[in-house]
Structure 1
């Protein structure tokens, strides 16, 4: 996962569904390790102390090597595992979800419970902000006013995120180059500006696009 884009949580959310008068409340949170996950689960159990069940699932680690789930009193395999399967299917890293159930008086059956818990998690994810974090390298391209149009065109074609553009006697474009695009981009810009571009490569960074804006981690 180190050099590949991966999905993770930027901001957790809450989703709720009702099935045969039973309320299912999914609360989603970002976690980095088991300690943070267990603290989050304990917090949810305290908040929803009067609920019959507080089932949970979480995944953490670079390769999602840490995976835990609990049915919290529901029939074996009807809550925690199905919840975990949603997180793994969506391939989201470092995330925990607690689904709180207030029993409505009607049994849902094994299949009904599985569907309800999975649907709850999906609803919670819909109300969360999930981002794709990528590896890249910061770069400043210095060019003249004749070359900036071509540079902007190439950056748009290659889907390279621009952080800022400064206009003085020259034009300086600050950007993040995703891993694997470095050589191709430099070659294209050099050709497009007839060799009039100067490159200042910076540090390796991890970044994501959040609501149209680039955030560096």
Structure 2
């Protein structure tokens, strides 16, 4: 198998898999309820707006923004009745300018909806911009995030009796393990590696050493995988 360098993104940051994250702020008597959802596609992002319209049906505004894709090519926002440019755009900027590490603005696959209950005090255009931006930024400060990397899955076939030992040794060596399949005659372990020839070669040598040359690591497809760092 040949490996070619390309310009596609190889990593980004997103919300951890799990339930929506919620956080509420009160600003001059108005309630701003921010809900974040991990959204790998536009359908998932738009479903968050629909879900919250049903749940908070009596709220005046359900403003939204989302950014999707490893390259963050899909970016949308909505003011939902607030003065133009005072809600959706500040929310979107809070997403795309979020630093997940010093100098790293790589947050993606995230949708944000801010539900507003008007408190009777007008905030003005500047006040609305600050309120919606702060609502999303504060929620992101508290929400659980995870790194995602495009990795090469490689498989190795071993006897059932050896699968647990080999998996533990590879994990101990710092490798990211994917799924293990137990078939009739053998187990198939999958390791997620950097999609580079030298990383594959190093892992092949490690597997050969751990199995006394009785097993070979075979590159398969690439896949996006959540990793801790």
Give the structure-1-normalised TM-score. Answer: 0.70
Whole-angstrom distance in 2 between the partners of 1:80 and 1:96 = 11
Match 2:31 to one of 14, 23, 27: 23
Q: How much does 1:3 deviate? A: 5.9
Contact residue 67 and residue 74 of structure 2 kept, 8 A:
yes
Match 1:184 to one of 199, 202, 208: 202
Residue 215 of structure 1: aligned partner: none
Alignment of 1:125-144 (within 5 A): 125=140, 126-128=142-144, 130-140=146-156
Distance of aligned partners of 1:174 and 1:52 in 2 relative to their CA distance in 1, 3 Å threshold: same
Contact residue 14 and residue 128 of structure 1 kept, 8 A:
no
> SS at the partner of 2:114?
strand
User: Does 1:206 pair with 2:223?
Assistant: yes
Whole-angstrom distance in 2 between the partners of 1:40 and 1:26 = 11
> SS at the partner of 2:218?
strand
| Stretch deviating more after TM superposition (1-10 or 44-53) | 1-10
Whole-angstrom distance in 1 between the partners of 2:111 and 2:70 = 15
User: Does 1:122 pair with 2:127?
Assistant: no
> SS at the partner of 1:73?
coil
User: Does 1:112 pair with 2:130?
Assistant: no
Residue 42 of structure 2: aligned partner: 34
Q: How much does 1:183 deviate? A: 2.0
Query: What's the RMSD between the two structures over aligned residues?
Result: 3.7
Give the structure-2-normalised TM-score. Answer: 0.67
> SS at the partner of 1:24?
strand
- Paired positions, count: 200
Q: How much does 1:182 deviate? A: 1.1
Q: Deviations over 1:129-166 (max 9, x none)?
A: 54424322133386xx9xx89x94x8656x3224589x
Alignment of 1:53-68 (within 5 A): 53-68=61-76
